[in-house]
Amino acid sequence: QKEVEQDPGPLSVPEGAIVSLNCTYSNSAFQYFMWYRQYSRKGPELLMYTYSSGNKEDGRFTAQVDKSSKYISLFIRDSQPSDSATYLCAMSAGGYQKVTFGTGTKLQVIP
């Protein structure tokens, strides 16, 4: 079993929809949780960085962490065609030390 599980999709939604992306994990030591966006043939770009449980909002993006369920989510409101990319969840026991990534969910927002 992988330490981090992420549905690879692809996920296709109409423009303006609310998108929900999720990951589950098995390592209880994980304390830091990140979401990255990766466009084709580019390096990942950090979207959200959170510590422990709770919610964090940044513009159209909201990250949620439920450590009791070992479940994290990223919500994208008012999705745009420019949001079409692969979204990677990532987590670690200590900041950016030894970060473990999910396989990524490919998202397509249809105009």
Partner 1 sequence: DAGVTQSPTHLIKTRGQQVTLRCSPKSGHDTVSWYQQALGQGPQFIFQYYEEEERQRGNFPDRFSGHQFPNYSSELNVNALLLGDSALYLCASTSQGTLKETQYFGPGTRLLVL
What the block records as the tokens of 29 is 């030591």
DSSP 4-49: EEE----EEEETT--EEEEEEE--TT--EEEEEEE-TTS--EEEEE
Considering only residues 74, 104, 107, 109, which one is a binding residue for partner 1 as defined by CB under 8 A? 104
In whole angstroms, the minimum distance from the beta carbon of 15 to partner 1 comes to: 26
Question: Scanning residues 38 to 97, which ones bind partner 1 (CB under 8 A)?
Answer: 42-46, 49, 88, 90, 95-97
Q: How many Å apart are CA 53 and CA 40, to the nearest integer?
A: 31
Question: Scanning residues 4 to 23, which ones bind partner 1 (CB under 8 A)?
Answer: 4, 6, 8
Judged by the rule CB under 8 A, the positions of this chain that interact with partner 1 are 4, 6, 8, 34, 36, 42-46, 49, 88, 90, 95-104
